[in-house]
Amino acid sequence: MHIPDGYLSPQTCAVGYAAAAPMWYTASRRVTKVVKSRNVPMLAVLAAVSFLIMMFNVPIPDGTTAHAVGGTLIAICLGPWAATIAVSVALLFQALLFGDGGVLTYGFNCINMAVILPFVGYGIYRLVAGRAALSSGRRVVAAAVGSYVGICTAALACGTELGIQPDLFKSASGAPLYCPYHLSQSVPAMLLAHLTAAGLVEAVLTAGVVTYLQRADIGRLAINHPGIAFEATEHAGRRLSPARVAIGFVVIMIALCPIGLLAPGGAFGEDAPSALNLHKLGLSTVPTGLSKYYGLWSHALLGGYGFHNGDHPNIGYIVSAVVGTAVIGLVIFLIGTTLQWLLRRRAASPRPSTPQGAGA
């Protein structure tokens, strides 16, 4: 679902940034209502987990791949605005450090995965869960359904953005300038990949974490569920505390992330121009705009989640996972603590007193 540069026209990319900017601004203001100081580490860990699970590619029968995102999980735990910040940061460093997703297309990548996905997923979750207690199995079902619908809706949006390009931006001869896939190709391909594979992974992941929190530390779920009844649960011993389990989960995912290299083929709509089947697309040459803008950002530290010379891909993938996890977790932690510092400073600043004699 990461759209590289060149597949969307610069005009479309500008619309993506214009749509994403107010969401980022609002998220930075709204997130302080939920993410208190003690919850900033949780947000950092969830952002790192989102980055990691996006490295696990799921093979699809038609030769393409897809991946989960984890946006609905973050929204359930800390709210959709927190998910917008966490996933946006993950996507930013995926683009800058690893060349996964474009710099021009970053706005629409965030709209799809950091806005549409968590907000739709969280909305469905609340609709299905209703007023059920936090410990209710209904909330597990709601988490699975919400996350599944959320990622599939984001995939539909991505397929639509790609599919409208050939009709909106074409040469005088009618050849597409950017993405060569029409809606009849892009939408089915994106939906198939997510309805059959990535959506199921997203649902299992989200439901599994919610189930664990219900049993291990339901108070973590209460953060974003004011007014919902719950009974405090005792931690299952110091060794199995949520913090330790989260760290262990991240370590295991880093160790296993090279599994993502086993998926055959590439993700739909993310192929390099040289990998396109031009004959199948009815083209004789690569679209000029796609050729011009693809790979615009050439300063990725670990392009393609590996070393530049292509040697030792498994080690390169693990190194990328470690670097990405550390950078994203640290940046989210700094953002969270900075927002809380600003909030405390604002609360501590003296308010101007009302002049004597002023009317009520």
The secondary structure of residue 198, as a DSSP letter, is I
Model confidence at 148, in pLDDT bands (50, 70, 90)? very high
Q: Would 89 be classed as within a structural domain?
A: yes
CA dist 62 and 7 (Å) reads 21
Q: State residue 232's pLDDT score.
A: 65
Instruction: Give me the pLDDT at residue 351, please.
Output: 62
Task: Give pLDDT, residue 236.
Answer: 47
Classify burial at 94, counting beta carbons within 10 Å of its beta carbon; exposed 0-12, middle 13-18, buried 19 or more: buried
| 321: CATH | 1.10.1760.20
| pLDDT reported for residue 339 | 76
- DSSP conformational letter for 65: E
1 domain-assigned:
no
> What would the mean pLDDT of 119-144 be, rounded to a whole number?
96
Average pLDDT over residues 269-274: 83
Whether the predicted pLDDT of 80 surpasses 80: yes
Looking at residue 360, its pLDDT comes to: 40
Question: Is a pLDDT exceeding 60 seen at residue 270?
Answer: yes
3-class SS at 34? coil
The region of weakest confidence among 122-136, 145-159, 254-268 is 254-268
Q: Is residue 352 part of a domain?
A: no
Residue of 37 and 33 predicted with greater confidence:
33
Task: Report the pLDDT averaged over residues 96-103.
Answer: 93
Residue 182 contacts residue 163 (beta carbons within 8 Å) = yes
pLDDT tens readout for residues 39-53: 888 889 999 999 999
The answer for residues whose C-beta is within 8 angstroms of residue 130's C-beta and 6 or more apart is 138
Statement: residue 67 has pLDDT above 80: yes
Residue 360 lies in a domain: no
The string of pLDDT tens digits covering residues 224-251 is 888 887 776 555 444 566 777 888 888 8
Contact 241, 254 (CB under 8 A): no
In a domain, 356, yes or no: no
Question: What is the residue-averaged pLDDT of the chain?
Answer: 88
For the cut 90, the answer to whether the pLDDT of residue 264 exceeds it is no
Q: CA dihedral in degrees (293, 297, 302, 304; nearest 10)?
A: -20
Question: For residue 234, what pLDDT is reported?
Answer: 57
Read off the pLDDT of residues 174-209 as tens digits, 9 standing for 90 and up.
999 999 999 999 999 999 999 999 999 999 999 999
CA angle in degrees (0–180, nearest 5) for 307-308-311: 55
Percent of the chain with pLDDT over 70: 91
C-alpha triplet 14, 97, 39: angle, nearest 5°: 90
Asked if residue 156 is part of any domain, the answer here is yes
Q: What is the pLDDT of residue 10?
A: 97
3-state secondary structure of 352: coil
Tokens of 68: 């989960």
pLDDT mean over 307-312? 81
Residue 166 parent element (H or E): helix 165-168
User: In the predicted model, is pLDDT for residue 23 greater than 90?
Assistant: yes
Q: Say if residue 314's pLDDT is above 70.
A: yes
Assign 170 to helix, strand or coil.
strand
| Secondary structure (3-state) at 66 | strand
Reported as type and span, the H/E element at residue 59 is strand 58-59
Give me the domain span that covers residue 331. Answer: 10-344
The residue ranking higher by pLDDT, 91 or 56, is 91
What's the pLDDT score for residue 37?
Answer: 63
Domain assignment of residue 349, yes or no: no
pTM exceeding the 0.75 threshold for the entire prediction: yes
Quick one: average pLDDT of 13-27? 97
- Based on the structure, what is the number of domains in the chain? 1
Structure tokens at 315: 């080690």
Rounded CA-CA distance 117/189 in Å is 18
Assess if residue 109 is contained within a domain: yes
44 to 18, 47, 67, 126, 305: CA distances (angstroms): 26, 5, 20, 24, 21
